[in-house]
């Protein structure tokens, strides 16, 4: 009876109170659901202390234990950082943090001689202050994650100076993109008339295409060093494979990811006939700084394939070696190029643009509703930026959760298809061993709770991918 009474009471409240209550309730529901899933996965980290029989061939017990402890530490960290974020977000809403920051931005504009009619200027000051607040409150968490957790488990390669310089650079680059783009978007919404949502959507489409085009050439090099992959067997084989599937490859780069972390990766980018492949140095056995360090420690010259080296030293290096052999790197690239050949990249762009258009259309429908603004403490004014924030971040949150889950399911499907594509190229055996190596290098834990993995994993669990490749290998 009490529950129905409280629901009735909620319906009798003014519309803005109902909206505010629903937003807070949904936010905490999602938080509790995520925490419930994380606890299920945490139980697996705690109780699975021995390598399960089906993983006997794949993982030795030392690596298994290392990855178990790493994932346990990460899950403890995400519990506390998640709790902090949820409480911080709730307090900002309850104590009117958003209207307060808007008034503060107005005051700063006033000092500079801009009155309340300069709404776009005030919006930019608001964005600058909001992102500064978020960067400062996120900094202690980021420091702890990098210098305690990643350091303890042997992944962090950064010094504190490098980290801080990097954080400041990131903040400045973000502002250089965010502020001009936001001011233009707000201007388009202001002057766009009845069909402003079409122009706003087209503008964000153009911006995202421009950013994808310039990111790797102009933005990424501000943070990491990119060098062309030297001529040699690996480069030739990559070019041959790209040609065999009509991938319009123009350049292959190696990025010095090892200055930051020993995690590894590979990706491609570019439009139309101008595609580039980027390999992390940590992915390549020949380039990995870690391997060079080991070789120097063991008094070896960097390995050039000479015979007659001490077998014991070779074994020691091999056991600690990071990265993949050339054939395995090619298999990983075969998988990545599969995403291109099978149209996954284009499909993802189309889905995200359809979603973006739908969101702008709904925004156009809702922006005139004064009670949405009143719910968040804006009684006298309805600034466009605040409307974007309220509608995209709070009102759309149930839709965003559902969409995110659907995209996760689709992503796993794409991963299986890309694995099968690499197999068609004759790379099943090498991809099989590469996946095991990458899992070991990145200390991935190969056992997962079915509900947690279904909700969160954009890639299928290791064992499922290996089983699919095995059945493929036996075909």
Determine which of 184-198, 260-274, 443-457 has the lowest per-residue pLDDT on average.
260-274
Grade residue 351 by pLDDT with cuts at 50, 70 and 90.
Answer: very high
Whether the pLDDT of residue 46 is over 50: the answer is yes
Q: Is residue 339 part of an annotated ligand binding site?
A: yes
Note if 419 is an active site residue. Answer: yes
pTM recorded for the entire structure? 0.88
Q: How far is CA 228 from CA 170, 253, 279, in A?
A: 24, 4, 10
> What is residue 321's predicted lDDT score, i.e. its pLDDT?
60
Active-site residue, from 16, 34, 119, 419: 419
* pLDDT one-digit tens code per residue, 305-330: 444 444 433 443 344 567 899 999 99
Whether the pLDDT of residue 303 is over 60: the answer is no
The average confidence (pLDDT) of the chain is 90
* pLDDT one-digit tens code per residue, 70-95: 999 999 999 999 999 999 999 999 99
What's the average model confidence in pLDDT over 430-459?
94
* pLDDT one-digit tens code per residue, 157-215: 999 999 999 999 999 999 999 999 999 999 999 999 999 999 999 999 999 999 988 88
Active-site residue, from 286, 336, 430, 449: 336
Rg (CA), the chain: 26
Whether the pLDDT of residue 474 is over 60: the answer is no
Pairwise pLDDT comparison (273 vs 451), residue with the higher score:
451
Note if 441 is an active site residue. Answer: no
d(CA 139, CA 146): 11
Grade residue 43 by pLDDT with cuts at 50, 70 and 90.
Answer: very high
């Amino acid at each position: 009876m009490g529950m129905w009474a409280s629901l009735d009471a909620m319906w009798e409240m003014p519309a803005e109170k109902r909206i505010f209550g629903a937003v807070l309730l949904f936010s905490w529901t999602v938080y509790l659901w995520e925490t419930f899933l994380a606890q299920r996965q945490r139980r697996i980290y705690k109780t699975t202390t021995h390598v399960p029989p089906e993983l006997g061939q794949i993982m030795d017990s030392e690596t298994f234990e290392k990855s178990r402890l790493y994932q346990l530490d990460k899950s403890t960290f995400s519990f506390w950082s998640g709790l902090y974020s949820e409480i911080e977000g709730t307090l900002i809403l309850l104590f009117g943090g958003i209207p307060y920051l808007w008034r503060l931005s107005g005051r700063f504009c006033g000092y500079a001689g801009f009155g309340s009619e300069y709404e776009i200027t005030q919006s930019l000051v608001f964005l600058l202050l909001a992102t500064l607040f978020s960067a400062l409150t996120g900094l202690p968490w980021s420091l702890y994650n990098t210098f305690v957790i990643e350091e303890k488990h042997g992944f962090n390669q950064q010094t504190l100076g490098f980290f801080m310089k990097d954080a400041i650079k990131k903040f400045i680059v973000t502002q250089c993109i965010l502020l001009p783009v936001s001011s233009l978007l707000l201007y388009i919404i202001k002057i766009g008339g009845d069909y402003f949502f079409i122009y706003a959507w087209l503008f964000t489409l153009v911006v995202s295409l421009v950013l994808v085009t310039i990111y790797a050439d102009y933005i990424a090099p501000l943070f990491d060093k990119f060098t062309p992959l030297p001529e040699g067997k690996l480069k030739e084989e990559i070019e041959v494979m790209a040609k065999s599937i009509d991938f319009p490859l123009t350049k292959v780069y190696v990025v010095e990811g090892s200055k930051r972390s020993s995690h590894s990766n590979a990706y491609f980018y570019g439009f139309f006939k101008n595609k580039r492949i980027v390999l992390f140095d940590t992915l390549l056995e020949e380039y990995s700084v870690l391997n060079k360090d080991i070789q120097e420690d063991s008094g070896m010259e960097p390995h050039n394939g000479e015979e007659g080296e001490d077998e014991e030293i070779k074994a020691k290096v091999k056991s600690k070696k990071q990265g993949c052999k050339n054939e395995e790197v090619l298999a990983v690239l075969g998988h990545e190029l599969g995403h291109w050949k099978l149209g996954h990249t284009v499909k993802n762009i189309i889905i995200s643009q359809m979603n973006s258009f739908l969101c702008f259309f709904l925004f156009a429908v809702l922006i005139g509703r004064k009670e949405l603004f009143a719910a968040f403490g804006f009684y006298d004014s309805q600034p466009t930026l605040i409307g974007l924030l309220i509608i995209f971040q709070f009102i759309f949150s149930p839709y965003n959760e559902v969409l995110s889950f659907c995209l996760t399911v689709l992503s796993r499907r794409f991963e299986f298809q890309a694995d099968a594509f690499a197999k068609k190229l004759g790379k099943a055996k090498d991809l099989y061993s590469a996946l095991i190596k990458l899992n070991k290098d990145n200390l991935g834990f190969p056992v997962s709770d079915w509900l947690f993995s279904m909700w969160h994993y954009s890639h299928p669990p290791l064992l499922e991918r290996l089983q699919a490749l095995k059945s493929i290998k036996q075909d």
